[in-house]
Structure 1
Amino acid sequence: MTKIDEEALAEAYNRALAHEKAGEIDAAVAAYHEVLEIDPEDHGGAAVRLASLGRGETPPRAPDAYVETLFDQHADSFEDILVEQLGYAVPVLVRQRLQELKLGPFQRMLDLGCGTGLTGGTLRDLVDDITGIDISENMVEIAHEKDLYETLYVAEVEDFLEDNDDEPFDLVTATDVLPYLGALEPLFFGTAENMVKGGLFIFSSETLPDDVMNGRPYMVGPHQRFAHAETYVRERLSDTGFDLVEMTDINVRMQDGKPTPGHLVIARFRGA
């Protein structure tokens, strides 16, 4: 692995951000390309920022190095930022919908992108055995200290789903995972391969108005997070063996004082 010139990287990245903030998009794009040359693994998420500016290809998912770095850095303050500052309540919404629809209890739950354990903690009394996965080692350490999970892994979600040979699950959750993924086929296929027939797959997604999506299945929004078209989510679920139980319009979180529209999706695995 080539050693990164941290000083040059920081200079180029800060220059790119400054140009972007000043509305000097061409200069920002050039600087982000410099960032990618210095750091091809893209710890700073330059590829996602380029896509957010409408320049360059939309990546199929946020770079692993970027997501890992982002969450490792914010692990200690993660819950305060997400819940207190951004008004994130998706795990509570998941519990409310399960109770409203009289679904559960469950035997084995897989919590994809488990973070510090917000979803696992919210659903703990509804499940016998919970496995948590997150790409951030620091996040997983905090989740481990809470003693909420029977099993915890540090892994990228799609890679784990492809490689896992544990017993299948009757509940799979992915709250706040889709904003870091573009193409959903690997996630949905991987989830299907790890589920019992009749099991539930519950996840949140963010979206943007139709005139912004402009027919695209997914795109990187203004805050460097992936938004997905409702039709794309529905089609891919059906293609990978899921029947939609419900798709609820929700506010995923507040961002700059404005709600982030999205969906809470519950799907049942009918079998491949």
Structure 2
Amino acid sequence: MPAPDRSSGDLLADRRYAWAEAAFAGGDAEAAADLAGQVLERVPGYGPAWLLLGRARAAVPTLRREAAQAFRAALALDPEDSLGARLHLAELGETEEEAISPAYVRALFDGYAGRFERHLVEGLGYCGPALIRSALEQLRGPDVVFSRVLDLGCGTGLMARALQGIAGSLTGIDLSPRMLAEARRTGLYARLDEGDLRDVLQSEPPASADLAVAADVFIYLRMIGPVVAGVARVLVPGGLFAFTVQAHPGERGVVLGADGRYAHGVATLREAAEAAGLAVALLEPAEIRRQNGSGVPGWLVVLAR
């Protein structure tokens, strides 16, 4: 959960909020719920306290029903959902909407940018960009060069580094300004755009890219069809779209996992490609990263225009 970026405006409430967070982190959910309730008695419009109250209640079996009320209160105060209340409602089975909002992703990665690469690569053994490059060379040969490349959800520029030598003019797209600031420091991008990749894709000229890549981006999107269709529109004939996704055991559909990420069925991926008029050039199982000591199952996918 992104850390609150503002005070409640009440010093005593802020102290109790900090105590509530500490209690929750220490495994005492009932104490955390009590303290968060005390915060809200003083400052009923403080969204982070409603979210923490919901998380604490959700951890206590007898309070789970009341948890949804707290998450809805947080969402009412924060309609763009930068705090991620909708994600918690989805975990409770209380909403069918897209659980992960762009505002939540922006807040999450703005707070994560400085330690993103160290945590992802060193801590989780993340290898998505390397797998994508290997797949591209497998399909087009080691001497391939893609003149115009779109890096969707570019983050700090890990994908750009992996594509060095085979990417010409590189455009990065990301929701998080702080992640884009890190990407800018690499000096590898000709252009960086801040925004929802679905919106940015709509503004790109048709047939303007030879390659689009999206490494571990679709774990934050329930419906990938619109993005795949948007990429198909901007690819030149013969262009490629390479990406990774998290997998679940079923063939179809999308599952929101306990890790707060979406996993997509392999048949759903094929259907999205077919609907966009793209052919499957490569689709194979891959472990993109590790979590809790185990490989996270996923798919490495390359689609062709």
- CA contact under 8 A between 1:201 and 1:266: conserved in structure 2? yes
Aligned to 2:291: 255
Q: Greater relative contact order: 1 or 2 (C-alpha under 8 angstroms, separation 6 or more)?
A: 1
Q: Deviations over 1:54-100 (max 9, x none)?
A: 221141x6211101101111011110111111111100111122223
Q: CA deviation at 1:166?
A: 7.6
Bigger radius of gyration, 1 or 2?
2
Question: For 1:28 and 1:262, how far apart are their aligned partners in 2?
Answer: 32
Aligned to 1:245: 281
Tell whether the 8 Å contact from 1:48 to 1:58 is kept in structure 2 after alignment: no
- The aligned amino acid for 1:46 is A
TM-score by length of 1: 0.90
Q: CA deviation at 1:5?
A: 9.0
Give the Å deviation of 1:33: 1.1
Name the CA shift for 1:20/1:216 in 2 (closer, same or farther; >3 Å).
farther
> For residues 183-206 of structure 1, what are the alpha-carbon distances to aligned partners after superposition, in whole Å with 9 as ceiling and x for unaligned?
112101110111101100001111
Task: Give the equivalent residue in structure 2 for 1:173.
Answer: 213
Identity, in percent, stands at: 35
Distance in 2 (alpha carbons) for counterparts of 1:13 and 1:243: 43
**Partner amino acid for 2:151?**
D
Following the alignment from structure 1 to structure 2, what is the Cα–Cα distance between the partners of residues 257 and 45?
Answer: 26
The reply on whether 1:54 has 2:90 as its aligned counterpart is no
Distance of 1:66 and 1:148 partners within structure 2: 27
Partner of 1:100: 138
Ranges in structure 2 where 5+ consecutive residues have no aligned partner: 9-45
Question: Structure 1 residue 11 and structure 2 residue 11: aligned?
Answer: no
- Which residue does the alignment assign to 2:65? 26
Contact map agreement 1:52 1:223 (CA 8 A) in 2? no
Partners of 1:53 and 1:254 lie apart in 2 by: 26
Could you say what the CA RMSD is over the residues aligned between the two structures, in angstroms?
A: 1.9
Q: Map of 1:80-99 to 2, 5 A cutoff?
A: 80-99=118-137
Query: Does 2:189 align with 1:189?
Result: no
Partner residue in 1 for 2:153 = 113
Aligned 8 A contact 1:15 1:28 in 2: yes
Partners of 2:263 and 2:191 in 1: CA distance: 30
C-alpha deviation, 1:259, in angstroms = 2.2
1:142 deviates by 0.8
Q: What is the number of equivalent residue pairs in this alignment?
A: 261
Whether the aligned pair in 2 keeps the contact of 1:202 and 1:266 (CA below 8 Å) is: yes
Is the CA contact 1:72–1:139 (under 8 Å) kept in the aligned structure 2? yes
